[in-house]
Structure 1
C-alpha cells in the first residue's frame, strides 16, 4: 500500500510537470498577461525557491516574444526551445523530485557531480544559459520603458546586449546581433505588436512595469542560487 501511494505521488508529480509546461506551450501568440502571471508564480511563497515549471513557462512565453520580433532576436532565441526541452526532460525523469526548484536542481547536480559527468546537457548548465538571456530581457525591457514612444528600440537593445549577453558570445555572433538590432521597431510599434488587437495599450503599459520588476526578481533569486553554489562561471 505504501509503495502504491509513493508511485501515485510520483505519477502525480510527473503529470503536473508535463501539464504545466504543456498548457504554457499551447498558446500560439505571445501573451504578456500569461508572462506576468508565470513570473509572479516563479518564486514560491512557501520557501522562496524558484519553481522550475514556472520558469519553463516564463521562457515559453519569452520564446514567443522573440519569434514575434522576427529573426532580429535569433541570437537569443535560436536555441531556447532546445534548452526548454532539456529542462522538461529532467522535470519528468526519474529524478524529477530533485528538479522541482532551481535551488534543489543545483544542489543535486553539484553534490552528485552530475554537472561534470554531463557537461553538454546538465540542467544546471542549460538553465544558466537561459538565466543570462533573462538578464538581457530584463535590461532591454527596462530601457524600453524609459524611452519615448516615437524612439526606436535598437539603441537600448544594443546597450542591454553589451551589458549582458555579449560577454558570453564570440565576436562573430556579437557582430551579427548588433547588425540585426537595426531592424527593431519603435517603442510604439513594439507595444502595438504586443497588444495584437487583443489587449488595450494602457493595460500593456501597466503589465510592462510588472514584468520588468518580476523579471529582475526572478533573475536575482537565480543569480543568488548559482553564486551560493559557485556555479556562475560554468563553461
Structure 2
C-alpha cells in the first residue's frame, strides 16, 4: 500500500512541480501567487487527500496543503492539461526576458553609465557613490564581471582555459574589494610595491579580467558577421588571435586553437543563451557598446601611470 501510494504521488506531482519551478525562475513572482492559483484549481482537495495532512497546524501544514493540492489536481489529468499548458507557455515566454546575456548587458550598461560625465549643481550631493573621486569602485566592477563567466561556459571546451583564468582573477578582485575601494587603489598599491606585472598581483589580475571582457566583445563582433559560410569557429579564432593570443604562452595558444573544433554551432549557441536571432544581435550589440568604455577606462589607468599594455 505504501509503495503504491508513493508511486502514484510521484507520478502525479512531478509535472506540476516542474511547472512551479519554471514559474518561480521565469517570473520571480511570490510563491503565494502560485499557491493561490493552484488551490483555486480544485476545491475538493481536502476530501481527496485529507488522509495525507499532518496532525499539527502551522507553517508546515500550509506547505503540505500546497503539495496536497498539486497532487489532487494532477490526479485529474484531463481537467488540468489545458490550464497547465497555458501556464507553461506563459512562463517560458517571460523567462526569455531574463536571459544570461541580457543580465550581463544590463550590468555593464549600468557600469558604463556611471563613467559618463554628470553635471552637478553647486552644493548638490551625488546620488550614488559607485564612482568616487578616486574612480570606479572595485566592488561595483566585480559585481558586473561575475556574470560574464557563463558566456565562456556556453562556448565549451575551447575556451575552458579562458574561463578558468577569468573566474580565478575575478574571485581575487572580489576579495580585494573588501579592502580596497577603487580600481585606482589596487594599481597604485602595486606601483608603490613594484609588483604591477607580478604573478597574482591585483594589477595583473585586473589586466587579465580586462582581456576576458574584451575577448567576449570581439567574439560578439565576429559572431554578428557570421553566415552559413563563416562559422563560429572562424569568428572565435579571429577574436582570440586579436585579443588574447599575443599574451598567452605557446602551450595555451596551441590548446585553444586545437579545441576550436568543439565550439557549438550558431544555432546551438543561441539555444544555450536562450536567445533568438533577433534578440541575440540586439543584446550583443548592447554589450559591445557598454563594455567599450569600461575597457578603455581600465587601459587609461595603466597608461596614466606609464605602464605599457604589452603584457
SS of corresponding position for 1:121: coil
Greater RCO (CA < 8 Å, at least 6 residues apart): 1
Structure 2 counterparts to residues 27-176 of structure 1, below 5 A: 31-43=100-112, 44=114, 45=116, 49-93=135-179, 96-97=180-181, 100=182, 102-110=183-191, 113-116=192-195, 119-148=198-227, 151-176=230-255
1:188 aligns with 2:267: yes
TM-score scaled to structure 1, two decimals?
A: 0.73
Give the superposition deviation at 1:115: 4.5
Give the superposition deviation at 1:80: 2.0
> In 2 relative to 1, CA 116–149 (structure 1 residues): closer, same or farther, beyond 3 Å?
same
Give a deviation string over 1:51-94, Cα, whole Å, max 9, x none. Answer: 4333323332221111222222112111222212211111112x
TM-score scaled to structure 2, two decimals?
A: 0.56
> In 2 relative to 1, CA 130–40 (structure 1 residues): closer, same or farther, beyond 3 Å?
same
Once the two structures are overlaid, the 10-residue window that deviates more, 207-216 or 148-157, is: 148-157
> Deviation above 6 Å: which 4+ runs of structure 1?
none
> In 2 relative to 1, CA 60–42 (structure 1 residues): closer, same or farther, beyond 3 Å?
same
- Provide the C-alpha distance between the structure 2 equivalents of 1:209 and 1:166, rounded to a whole number of angstroms: 24
Superposed CA RMSD: 2.7
Give the superposition deviation at 1:180: 0.6
Give the superposition deviation at 1:38: 1.4
Give a deviation string over 1:152-177, Cα, whole Å, max 9, x none. Answer: 20011111111121101111111110
Unaligned runs of 5+ in 1: 1-28
Indicate if the aligned counterparts of 1:30 and 1:62 stay in contact, CA closer than 8 A: no
Give the superposition deviation at 1:210: 0.4
> In 2 relative to 1, CA 134–69 (structure 1 residues): closer, same or farther, beyond 3 Å?
same
Residue aligning to 1:19: none
SS of corresponding position for 1:231: coil
Give the superposition deviation at 1:144: 0.5
Unaligned runs of 5+ in 2: 1-97, 119-130
Indicate if the aligned counterparts of 1:34 and 1:61 stay in contact, CA closer than 8 A: yes
1:179 aligns with 2:284: no
Give the superposition deviation at 1:201: 4.8
- Report how many aligned residue pairs link the two structures: 197
- Provide the C-alpha distance between the structure 2 equivalents of 1:86 and 1:191, rounded to a whole number of angstroms: 31
> In 2 relative to 1, CA 90–169 (structure 1 residues): closer, same or farther, beyond 3 Å?
same
Indicate if the aligned counterparts of 2:197 and 2:204 stay in contact, CA closer than 8 A: no
SS of corresponding position for 2:195: helix
